[in-house]
Structure 1
Amino acid sequence: MQVTTWFIAKEDEAEAIESIVTTEEHAPEDWTNLELPLIEMELMALSAALRGTEDITDERTSEDPLIFREEDGLIIARVMESFIQALARVKDENVPGLITAWVERIDQEHHAPEELREFLAEMVKFARQAVARRSPVLSLVTF
């Protein structure tokens, strides 16, 4: 199963984050982090819902990989600043419509709407922390 973990971290910390998987020199708890059982396409669907567009492939949620290690099953990339900013601006009154739009854009077999609502709440809180710290968010995807 693919797992996406977001870290409030700068790009020069990518190798240290890589070591979580490769050498265990560091642990996820060394950074403020959020683990999500979401794949890139599900995040792209959320991004599309946030932008009010139907095409989920219109904009990626991560930049080009800083580290790609197929042999270790990991990718580390910076999360697009526009995606983090959009998440940080989500208002409580917009959540029901946003969840509906997200559900319409993904394979519903993997996640129930209530589960997506929980993920969204966690991502919004995390994005607000990153924005408040004026820090980028790095994504570690393991597969």
Structure 2
Amino acid sequence: MQVTTWFIAKEDEAEAIESIVTTEEHAPEDWTYLELPLIEMELMALSATLRGTEDITDERTLEDPLIFREEDGLIIARVVEAFIQMLARVKDESIPGLVNAWVERNDREHHSPEELREFLLEMVKFARQAVSRRSPVLSLATF
């Protein structure tokens, strides 16, 4: 299963984050982080939901990779700032409707609506932390 881990970290910390997988010089706990069992297409479906569009392929949630190591099964990229900003602005009362719309845009049935609700709540809280710190979010995806 693919795991996506978000870090409140600057781009010059990408190599240190890479070492979590490659050399274990660092640990996820060295940063504020959030681990999610979501793949990019599920995050793109959430982004489309937040934008109110049907086409989930309209906009990626990640910028170009800072590090791509196929041999180690990892990609590190900055999460698109607009996606983080949209998440940070989600109002608690809109969560149920957003979850229902997100479920409709997901082709995969790996997560129940309840799980997606929990993931969304965690991502909103995390995005708010990143925005308040004025820090980018880096994504480490392992496959």
TM range (shorter): over 0.9
Distance 1:47 1:107 in 2: 14
**Letter of the structure 1 residue corresponding to residue 115 of structure 2:** E
* CA distance, structure 2, for counterparts of residue 51 and residue 110 of structure 1: 23
Structure 1 unaligned residues grouped into runs of 5+: none
2:25 corresponds to 1:25: yes
| Cα-to-partner distance string for 1:54-75 (whole Å, 9 max, x where unaligned) | 0000000000000000000000
SS at match of 1:55: coil
The residue number in structure 1 matching 2:98 is 98
TM-score (norm 1): 0.99
Residue equivalent to 1:126: 126
Higher mean C-alpha displacement, 108-117 vs 125-134? 108-117
Deviation at 1:15, TM superposition (A): 0.1
- Which secondary structure does the structure 2 equivalent of 1:78 belong to? strand
Kindly report structure 1 stretches of 4+ aligned residues shifted beyond 2 Å.
none
Identity of aligned residues (%): 89
- Give the whole-Å Cα distance in 2 for the aligned partners of 1:2 and 1:70: 13
- Report the Cα distance in structure 2 between the residues aligned to 1:140 and 1:75, rounded to whole angstroms: 6
1:7-28 CA distance string (max 9 Å, x none): 0000000000000000000000
Partner Cα distance (1:5, 1:92) in 2:
23
Q: What is the TM-score when the length of structure 2 is the normalising length?
A: 0.99
Once residues 92 and 130 of structure 1 are traced to their aligned partners in structure 2, the CA distance between those partners, rounded to angstroms, is 18
Distance, in Å, in 2 between the alignment partners of 1:37 and 1:22 is 20
Whole-angstrom CA distance in 1 between matches of 2:26 and 2:91: 35
CA drift at 1:107: 2.6
- Per the alignment, residue 137 of structure 2 pairs with 137
Counterpart of 1:122, as a letter, is: E
1:93 deviates by 1.1
Aligned residue runs from structure 1 range 49-60, under 5 A: 49-60=49-60
